[in-house]
C-alpha cells in the first residue's frame, strides 16, 4: 500500500518519512489528484464484519505454481482447510454461482 509505515524506524528516519508522506499528500490534494471524503465510504456493519473476519484465526494455505501464488481460505465457520479439500474443489466444475450452490 502506498504511503504506509510497515516497520519500526528510528525516530529520525520516521520523522523524515512522515514529512515526505504529508508533503506528497498535500501536493496531490492541491492538484486535485485526490479528493477528501466528507462522509464515511464504508458502512459500520461492513467494517465490523471485515474486522471480525480478520480476527477469526482462519489458517490460510498458499501454493505457488507458474510464478503465481494461490491462496486458500476455509469457508464459513471452518478454521482450517486441507490439501485434499482443495483438490476436491479444484476438480469440481460450475459455470455460475447458482450451479455451485447446487453441488
Q: What is the pLDDT of residue 95?
A: 86
Q: Is the model's pLDDT at 48 over the cut of 60?
A: yes
Report in angstroms the alpha-carbon separations of 40 from 27, 31, 47, 52, 86.
Answer: 23, 23, 11, 19, 38
- Count the alpha carbons within 13 Å of 22 in the hemisphere toward its beta carbon: 6
Query: Which string of DSSP letters, residue by residue, matches 23-61?
Result: HHHHHHHHTTSS---SS-SS-HHHHHHHHHHHTT----E
Q: Is the model's pLDDT at 46 over the cut of 90?
A: yes
pLDDT band at 15 (very low <50, low <70, confident <90, very high): very high
Amino acid at each position: 500500500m502506498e504511503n504506509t509505515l510497515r516497520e519500526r524506524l528510528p525516530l529520525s528516519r520516521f520523522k523524515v518519512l512522515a514529512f515526505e508522506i504529508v508533503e506528497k499528500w498535500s501536493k496531490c490534494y492541491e492538484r486535485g489528484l485526490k479528493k477528501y471524503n466528507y462522509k464515511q465510504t464504508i458502512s459500520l456493519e461492513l467494517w465490523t464484519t471485515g474486522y471480525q473476519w480478520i480476527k477469526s484465526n482462519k489458517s490460510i494455505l498458499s501454493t505457488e505454481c507458474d510464478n503465481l501464488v494461490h491462496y486458500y481460505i476455509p469457508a464459513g465457520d471452518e478454521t482450517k482447510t486441507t490439501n485434499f479439500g482443495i483438490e476436491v474443489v479444484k476438480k469440481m466444475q460450475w459455470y455460475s454461482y447458482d450451479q455451485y450452490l447446487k453441488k
